[in-house]
Amino acid sequence: MNMTLRAMLGATVSLTLAGAALAETTITVATVNNGDMIRMQGLMDAFNAKHPDIKVEWVTLEENVLRQKVTTDIATKGGQFDVMTIGTYEAPIWGKQGWLVSLNDLPADYDVDDLLPAIRGGLTVDGNLVAAPFYGESSMVMYRTDLMEKAGLTMPDAPSWDFIREAAEKMTDKAGEVYGICLRGKAGWGENMAFLTAMSNSFGAKWFDMDWKPQFDQQPWKDTLTFYLDLMNNYGPPGASNNGFNENLALFQQGKCGMWIDATVAASFVTNPKDSTVADKVGFALAPDKGLGKRGNWLWAWNLAIPAGTQKEEAAKTFVAWATSKDYLALVAEKEGWANVPPGTRTSLYANPEYQKVPFAKMTLDSINAADPTHPTVDEVPYVGVQFVAIPEFQGLGTAVGQMFSAALAGSTSAEDALAQAQAMVTTEMTRSGYIK
Amino acid sequence: MSRKTTATRQAVVTVAAWTIGFLIFFPILWTIILSFKSEGDAIKAPLDVLTSTWSLESYHEVQERSNYLKHFWNSVVLSLGSTLLALLIAIPAAWSMAFVPGKRTKDLLMWMLSTKMMPAVGVLVPMYLMFRDFGLLDTRIGLVVVLTLINLPIVVWMLYTYFKEIPGEILEAARMDGANLRSEILYILTPMAVPGIASTLLLNVILAWNEAFWTLQLTTSNAAPLTQFIASYSSPEGLFYAKLSAASTMAIAPILILGWFSQKQLVRGLTFGAVK
Amino acid sequence: MATEHSRTAARLMVSPAVILLFLWMIVPLGMTIYFSFLRYNLLMPGMESWTGFDNYYYFITQHAFWDALVNTLLLVGGVLVITVVGGVALALLLDQPFKGQGIVRVMVIAPFFVMPTVSALVWKNMFMNPVNGMFAHIAKAFGLQPFDFLSHAPLASIILIVAWSWLPFATLILLTALQSLDREQMEAAEMDGASWLNRFIYLTVPHLTRSITVVVLIQTIFLLSVFAEILVTTNGGPGTASTNLPYLVYAQSLLNYDVGGGSAGGIIAVILANIVAIFLMRMIGKNLET
């Protein structure tokens, strides 16, 4: 008994001790479980053929888990990853901290000047490219061409908010379960606040003035929120306060939305006849404006970055350069067709006559170009970021404010109260964080 | 008359028990069903789901995307390793608490349990820093230690309550016969305690298998168990029900099967001293 | 009965567990206490500065704190009520002879083996989703507007999910206890004409008291730290409707990256958990006294 027990325990302990031996060129890549990333994992043979000495170990996680893990790791210098997939929100913050390896010395055939200027601008810190964009997106209006025609209207390429309101009113047919407009209402800095912050830019609103004072008590934010609530309460679907991207996608695919303003990546889903009942009746337009010079569209990209301090910088760079190169785009096009190429990063992709045949290609490009993360608002602001503010505190602030606005949409508070609460909460936090002296 | 009521009564009990059992089990059953459907069919209305074609598509996709065997093996090593280590530490402790109780034994036990109440998120950053400094991030040994410590209080308590039910007279008799402490534990106590130890072991394998905070936070790839495997199948873009169902089925199947086969042993010691 | 010799041996045997648990408790706890007095944002390392009790002050004065406190208690209480009442009922049912007992028992205990993340994902997506979930499909089949569980009854939905996972545990323990109930006594009472209700109140319930105590104690320990279910389903919202203390600590330290504030919250949670624990132990210690 004694001996067997001991032997058993010994076996377990030595089993646990025998971790996998690290090959010299294994790089660990943390990535998000979006379609484009999953597709890349299926195409690794091409990379391995070119670089047999580099083995890529994937860690694929759901977005929130990923963000939390890579942030903990990089902030504590845990050194668990050699390549991290990060958003445009993290890149400038981490770049400023010096946590990311500069990618200025990628090989010449990477052709850094080919990157879309808006995307590149958001990833450049003090002249250093700190992350290489893998795919980029903006937001735009997707609308039902048939319903628009029925309403006797024509969607301009660059509509105004007033037109959207008019169209929403005319398209709404509540008895027939058709709602003029579907917008995000679910609370979260990447959910309703992504939409509302981008929308507020076009209304001339901003999160902070040059002294980092919150601006929710100002008229432009009141106009934004009132307009949004009015739109949603009169012409939106029921239960909108819990609708995020996926929920609205389902509604639109089932033909229940006249218009939907959301990520450009949705275009490929709503035009896919396999899932969408309205695939052949979708038109695209730029996100609306208010005539103030800014449109209400955001800018986001998932990017590959290399944490400073990794032992395998060279291998990591080789991988990043490959994954975000023109050749990779060509590879995906060859294997999976042009519509599946990761969009929104390179000018040359949009100049390609093959890619121009994709129905939403042009509007995606125009939308991305219409966003400027370094000058997101009508007035001057001290921050970078279109639908977010690139400061560490924003994730928490955005989510908290998002919950207040979501409650206003659900009808449990008024617009004024929600704004007043937001103003008070953000002021406290910003004072505490030392922005407001 | 009496026989008839018994028969009716048994029929009612049978129907009620089967209905309730089925309802409780239904979410798991439905997940298994959805895992054999295509993504497009998985979001249909329940009746349409049942009549749609069956396919292994999702399993193929999951198999292609992730290394299930690696995660599975890590789960096995972590849950078994931590449980055995915990038993090794807990058996002597529980023995002495049960047979040589002091004034403070109860307090000690309660204190042990109270260490379980620390919210894990609150100590994540300190733990991460320590793991980094000791080079334990993404190692099985590190996680085995953490899981051992997390479950140790429950293990000690379960064993303690079980040991306490072993009559002290037997030990005294043995002592009279000249048995020393070591042989007392080995030859008298342990055999009597085997059912209790077995069910403690089972319960803790289950708890360790399902632990989803530290196993997710402190691993990346080498030591990552099935909890991390699951974390890559809920998607904000597009349809994912079938793939999520397939991954979930694969993650819970091993422990479900183990649990079903060993439920008798599990139940026997699961009394925490509450049955006399 | 114990000799001096065996007492020393007993100390020696109990000490590894005590020392390990003590280290496990004190080292992270010590570091957490230290961090809780710092202004420490994870994203701004090197900027740590001493702030005294500021973190505690901010944590307690935020309106979410009181909501979280109430939600934590509601969650623990709600799940306990469901699992204990349901567990007793289910145990009584399963204790009867009927066809296929083994299979039914296997079905009933199955949820206990499902990891919390999986059960939360399954309930959220396959059942409670207002567009594609099972409940929505059923509602639509009856011509009703689907109910959006997670935004209109978030806490109740989470209680349901957690209770589903723990009901088997309670049932198992109570069933085991029930099976040790003295049959003869029961039959004698029946002969004497005691009604079912009387037998239940005067025989079954007292017999189950200790088991119920154990169920309450063990579940409370686990329920106080429910986290994965909330993270996966509602993210604590809408508003703070389903935020409990562990989730609030999480939001503070990993959404706001405010390690100082999160640590303070963690310490507060530990203190509160221990208050509950002491209260519970008092109550239960008596019951467990032999």
Check residue A10 and give its pLDDT.
46
Instruction: Check CB contact of A65 with chain B, cutoff 8 Å.
Output: yes
How close does chain A come to C121, measured CA to CA in Å? 12
Task: Kindly state the tokens that stand for C67.
Answer: 């909501």
Task: Pick from A403, A429, A433 the residue to mutate for testing the C interface (most C CBs within 10 Å).
Answer: A403
| Whether pLDDT at C46 is above 50 | yes
Q: What is the C-alpha separation between A383 and A331, in angstroms, rounded?
A: 37
- For residues B163 and B28, which has the higher predicted lDDT (pLDDT)? B28
**Chain C residues with beta carbon closer than 8 angstroms to that of B112:** 17-18, 21
- The larger pLDDT score, comparing residue C256 to residue C223, is at C223
Beta bridge partners of A282: A144
Banded pLDDT at A367 (limits 50, 70, 90): very high
**In chain C, whose CA is at the least distance from the CA of B181?**
C6
In the predicted model, is pLDDT for residue C4 greater than 70?
no
Report the C-alpha gap between A158 and A369 in whole angstroms: 13
**In the structure encoding, which two tokens stand for residue B58, read together?**
């999702």
| Cβ contact, residue pair C237, A432, below 8 Å | no
pLDDT class of A17 with cuts at 50, 70, 90: very low
Higher pLDDT, C177 or A437: C177
Residue A81 to residue B216, Cβ atoms within 8 A:
no
More confident residue, C161 or B62: C161
Q: How many interface pairs between A and C have CB atoms less than 8 angstroms apart?
A: 75
Q: Give me the residues paired with residue C39 across strands.
A: C49
**Neighbors of chain B with 3 or more C-beta pairs under 8 Å:** A, C
The angle subtended at Cα A242 by Cα A239 and Cα A245, nearest 5°, is 115
- Dump the DSSP string for A295-356: BS--EEEEEEE-BTT-TTHHHHHHHHHHHTSHHHHHHHHHHH-GGGSPPSSBHHHHH-HHHH
- Sorted by where each begins, the domain ranges of chain C are 56-288
CATH number at C56-288: 1.10.3720.10
Whether the predicted pLDDT of A21 surpasses 50: no
Structural domains present in chain A: 23-137+299-361 (3.40.190.10), 139-298+391-432 (3.40.190.10)
Inform me whether the C-beta atom of residue C45 falls under 8 Å from chain A C-beta atoms: yes
CA separation for the pair A30, A34 (Å, rounded) = 12
Kindly tell me if the per-residue pLDDT of C6 is higher than 80. Answer: no
Predicted complex ipTM: 0.87
Whether A384 has a pLDDT exceeding 80, the answer reads: yes
pLDDT of residue A300: 93
Cross-chain residue pair A77–B81, CB shorter than 8 Å: no
The mean pLDDT of C19-43, rounded to a whole number, is 85
pLDDT at A8 over 70: no
Q: pLDDT at residue A37 above 50?
A: yes
pLDDT score, position A18: 41
For A109-144, what is each residue's pLDDT tens digit?
A: 899 999 999 899 989 999 999 999 999 999 999 999
C257 touches chain A (CB under 8 A): yes
pLDDT bucket at B275, cuts 50 / 70 / 90? low
Burial class (CB within 10 angstroms; exposed 0-12, middle 13-18, buried 19+) of C274 = middle
Q: Mean pLDDT over all residues of chain B? A: 84
Q: Burial level of A2, CB count in 10 A (0-12/13-18/19+)?
A: exposed
Asked whether the predicted pLDDT for residue C224 surpasses 50, the reply is: yes
Chain A positions touching C58 (Cβ under 8 A) are 432
Is the pLDDT at C288 greater than 70? The verdict is: no
Taking residues C113-128, what's their average pLDDT? 90
What's the per-residue H, E or C state across chain C?
Answer: CCCHHHHHHHHHHHHHHHHHHHHHHHHHHHHHHHHHCEECECCCCCCCEECCCHHHHHHHHCHHHHHHHHHHHHHHHHHHHHHHHHHHHHHHHHHCCCCCHHHHHHHHHHHHHCCHHHHHHHHHHHHCCCCCCHHHHHHHHCCCCCCCHHHHCHHHHHHHHHHHHHHHHHHHHHHHHHHCCCHHHHHHHHHCCCCHHHHHHHHHHHHHHHHHHHHHHHHHHHHCCCCHHHHHHCCCCCCCCCCCHHHHHHHHHHHCCEHHHHHHHHHHHHHHHHHHHHHHHHHHHHHHCC
CB contact under 8 A, A16 and B232: no
B69-78, C80-89, C213-222: segment of lowest average pLDDT: C213-222
User: Best mutation site among A89, A242, A247 for testing chain C: the one with the most C CBs within 10 Å?
Assistant: A242
Q: If you average pLDDT over each of A23-32, A218-227, A333-342, B230-239, which comes out highest? A: A218-227
Sorting pLDDT into bands at 50, 70 and 90, what band is A407?
confident
d(Cα B109, Cα B112) in Å, to the nearest integer? 5
**Token representation of residue A42:** 């299926």
- CB pairs < 8 Å spanning B and C: 291
pLDDT at A318 over 90: yes
DSSP state of A174: G
Question: Is pLDDT at B264 greater than 90 in this prediction?
Answer: no
What percent of chain A lies above the pLDDT cut of 90? 62
CA-nearest residue to A425 within chain C is C62
Report CA Rg, chain C.
24
Q: Which amino acid is at C130?
A: P
| Residue A254 scores a pLDDT above 90 | no
Contact C240 A395 (CB under 8 A): no
Give the type of residue at A119: I
Mean pLDDT, residues B30-39 taken together: 91
Chains that touch C (3 or more CB pairs under 8 A): A, B
In chain B, the domains with their CATH numbers are 2-60 (no CATH), 66-232 (1.10.3720.10)
Nearest by CB to residue B231, choosing from A57, A61, A245, is: A61
Alpha carbons A56 and A47: distance in angstroms, whole number: 9
> Testing the interface with C: which of B2, B114, B152, B227 to mutate, by most C Cβ within 10 A?
B114
Using a CB-CB cut-off of 8 Å, the residues of chain A touching C139 are none
pLDDT at residue A14 is higher than 50: no
Best mutation target among C35, C57, C128, C131 (most A Cβ atoms within 10 Å) is C131
Give the mean model confidence (pLDDT) for residues B5-13: 83
CB contact under 8 A, A410 and C151: yes
C167 touches chain A (CB under 8 A): no
pLDDT above 90: residue A349 = yes
Tell if the CB–CB gap between A403 and C239 is shorter than 8 Å.
yes
Does the CB of A39 have a partner CB in chain B at under 8 Å?
A: no
Q: Which residue would you say has higher pLDDT here, B32 or B125? A: B32
Choose the weakest-confidence range: A190-199, B50-59, C193-202: C193-202
Give mean pLDDT, residues B210-223. 87
Q: Closest approach of chain A CAs to the CA of B111, in angstroms? A: 28
Between A28, A38, A275, which is nearest B65 by CB?
Answer: A38
The distance of C253 to chain A (nearest Cα, Å) reads 10
Per DSSP, the residues of A51-106 read -TT-EEEEEEE-HHHHHHHHHHHHHTT----SEEEEETTHHHHHHHHT-B---TTS
**Confidence band for A3, pLDDT divided at 50, 70 and 90:** very low
Q: Is C239 on the interface with A (CB under 8 A)?
A: yes
Range with top average pLDDT, A343-352, B99-108, C43-52, C125-134: A343-352
Q: Structure pTM? A: 0.85
| Residue-wise pLDDT tens digits, A168-223 | 999 999 888 899 999 998 888 888 999 999 999 999 999 999 999 999 999 999 99
- 8 Å CB contact of C43 and A93: yes
| pLDDT value at residue A22 | 42
Chain-chain contact of C257 with A75 (C-beta, under 8 angstroms) = yes
Does position C216 have pLDDT exceeding 80, yes or no? yes
Smallest CA-to-CA distance from A195 within A245, A247, A133 is with: A245
State the pLDDT at residue B192. Answer: 78
A28 and chain B in contact, CB less than 8 A: yes
Residues A80, B84: C-beta atoms closer than 8 Å? no
- pLDDT at position A315 is 94
CB contact under 8 A, C28 and B100: no
- Chain A residues near residue C118 by CB distance under 8 angstroms: none
Q: How confident is the model at residue C275 (pLDDT cuts 50, 70, 90)?
A: confident
**CA-to-CA dists, residue A420 to A215, A405, A416, A423, C151, angstroms:** 10, 11, 6, 5, 23
- Kindly state the average pLDDT of the residues A146-161: 94
User: What pLDDT does A377 receive?
Assistant: 93
Per-residue pLDDT averaged across A353-363, rounded?
Answer: 90
Contacts of B228 (CB under 8 A, 6+ apart): A59, A61, B71, B215, B216, B219
Q: Which of B169-178, B187-196, C120-129 has the lowest mean pLDDT?
A: B169-178
What whole-number percentage of chain A has pLDDT above 70?
A: 95
Check B27 against C119: CB less than 8 A apart. yes
- Residue B157 pLDDT > 60, yes or no? yes
CB atoms B224 and A59 under 8 Å: yes
Segment A220-245 shows an average pLDDT of 91
Mutate to test the interface with A, among B71, B235, B240 (most CBs of A within 10 A): B235
Contact C277 B110 (CB under 8 A): yes
Band of the pLDDT at B238, cuts 50, 70, 90?
Answer: low
Q: What are phi and psi of A123, to 5 degrees?
A: -110, 5
Residue B5's pLDDT is 66
Return d(Cα B245, Cα A20) in angstroms, integer. Answer: 30
Q: What is the reported pLDDT for B235? A: 62
Q: Which of A286-290, A390-394, C39-43, C147-151 is the most confident on average?
A: A286-290
Element spanning B101, H or E: none
Answer whether C98 sits within 8 Å of B13, measured CB to CB: yes
DSSP states of A175-213: GGTBEEEE---S-STTTHHHHHHHHHHHTT--SB-TT--
* The one-letter amino acid at C290: T
- Which residues in A lie closer than 8 A to residue C145 (C-beta atoms)? 238
**Cα B8 → chain centroid:** 39
Residues in chain A closer than 8 A to B85 (CB atoms): 9, 12-13
The neighbour count for residue A144, using CB atoms within 10 Å, is: 24
